[in-house]
Amino acid sequence: MFTSSKQSCYHDGKWVGTAARRVEEKSVRTAPGGHESYSGATAAAAGPPVFAALDLGTNNCRLLIAEPARHGTFRIVDAFSRIVRLGEGIASQGRIAEAAIERTLDALQVCAGRMRRRRVTHIRAIATEACRRASNGGEFLTRALAETGIALEVISPAEEARLAVAGCTPLLDPDRRRALVFDIGGGSTELAWLSVTGPDRATMLDWISLPLGVVTLAERFGGVEVDDRLYGVMVAEVRKALAPFEAKYVAGDAARDHGFQLLGTSGTVTTLAAVRMNLPRYDRARVDGSWLTRVEIDKVIADIRAMPFEGRAANPCIGHDRADLVLAGCAILEAILDAWPEKRLRIADRGLREGVLMGLMAGVMS
């Protein structure tokens, strides 16, 4: 169970705040252009409920479809992930580029088709930093609804942090009562300071969202050829942005008083874990819940920095789509680990989507 001292999103059968979604509302209706529209509540359908969580980030479009299982858990029945780079060029132009919109709409069409085939009855589709920042974000959301039938909800950074933590809470060690959970995204990085109150239970005491992600840093400093100077500048910029949060929540103090732990979720940390394992291809089952020591992290970052762009692109756990972004992610991770030193980092290949699924299920199954 996850609770937040800052914000609650689901209450008494309703999505509160900007979501404002009633559970008795049908989730499938006709959208402009004749497409089916997935509005994010409950379908009046026979048979067991089927839940879908769609996370449209600055870099990725990800979908999970799940059915309820025992003891409030869920079983994944379908998944989809595609790098769309929706946020490409926003930092310099302030707008979502047409090419990025087309890539993203193609991915959303795939998601809509999978949800129809799986007869999804409950959905929440969220969008994050790219849609928050872009001047044409609203136009994109309207077009996405008209062309794919998916009603995207732009969530706040606070809600993004809350959902990421909710999805990762089962991986936290209940014997260490303070935790820093971070999510390195494409357009932003969220960090949450937690009080761990028991198995699967944590309270978010505070959070911060930095307007620095792998896409934004790579566009500013480059991602194909990154020398030692540029890499150092990236690390320093992130450290500067982290400084106020670091001053409030000191790892050493937390370790002495309550016990301290670090948990990371994002493509950066999962990629580094997979590269460290020397996997022939990415394997979520092996990566999710794994550990990396600080020594291992330093070694794998050094190895990746030593690779030419072609070598990064050829690595099966990085690939061409991430080859120009992974060094920016390494710089963000290194800054976080310098600010909150800890011998080991827990790796989570879970986060926003799992948090969304848990929220949907809590409202319907309770």
Task: Please name each of the domains of the chain with its CATH number.
Answer: 19-154 (3.30.420.40), 168-351 (3.30.420.150)
Least confident of 11-15, 196-200, 279-283, 302-306: 11-15
Neighbour-count burial of 278, counting CB atoms closer than 10 A to its CB (0-12 exposed, 13-18 middle, 19+ buried):
exposed
CB neighbours of residue 132 within 10 Å: 19
Q: Sort strands 153-154 and 122-127 into parallel, antiparallel or unpaired.
A: parallel
Average pLDDT over residues 278-285: 94
Q: Which two tokens stand for residue 122?
A: 């409950």
pLDDT at 70: 79
* Rounded CA separation 263/347 (Å): 6
Average pLDDT over residues 266-282: 96
Question: Per-residue confidence at 176, pLDDT binned at 50, 70, 90?
Answer: very high
Q: Residue 329 contacts by C-beta under 8 Å, 6 or more apart in sequence?
A: 184, 214, 266, 267, 268, 271
Average pLDDT over residues 240-265: 95
Whole-model pTM: value is 0.84
* Rounded CA separation 166/348 (Å): 12
Asked if residue 342 has pLDDT above 80, the reply is: yes
Half-sphere exposure of 329 (CA within 13 A, CB side): 27
C-alpha closest to that of 306 among 232, 228, 235, 238: 228
Q: Residue 346 contacts by C-beta under 8 Å, 6 or more apart in sequence?
A: 171, 172, 173, 261, 262, 263, 264, 289, 290, 291
Least confident of 8-17, 142-151, 191-200, 301-310: 8-17
Asked if residue 7 has pLDDT above 60, the reply is: no
Least confident of 86-95, 141-150, 336-345: 86-95
Asked if residue 25 has pLDDT above 50, the reply is: no
pLDDT at 74: 87
Q: Which residue has the higher pLDDT, 15 or 323?
A: 323
Asked if residue 102 has pLDDT above 60, the reply is: yes
Q: Do 358 and 344 form a contact (C-beta atoms < 8 A)?
A: no
Average pLDDT over residues 280-300: 96
Eight-state DSSP code of residue 150? B
pLDDT at 89: 87
Eight-state DSSP code of residue 171? G
Average pLDDT over residues 46-66: 92
Q: Do 238 and 316 form a contact (C-beta atoms < 8 A)?
A: no
Q: Which two tokens stand for residue 91?
A: 């930092």
Q: Which residue has the higher pLDDT, 38 or 231?
A: 231
* Rounded CA separation 166/6 (Å): 13
pLDDT at 92: 87
Whats the size of the chain, residue-wise? 366
Average pLDDT over residues 20-39: 34
Asked if residue 96 has pLDDT above 80, the reply is: yes
Q: Angle 137-148/98-117 helices, nearest 10 degrees?
A: 40
Question: Per-residue confidence at 18, pLDDT binned at 50, 70, 90?
Answer: very low
* Rounded CA separation 114/352 (Å): 19
* Rounded CA separation 108/114 (Å): 10
* Rounded CA separation 137/131 (Å): 5
Q: Do 337 and 48 form a contact (C-beta atoms < 8 A)?
A: no
Whole-number CA gyration radius for the chain: 20
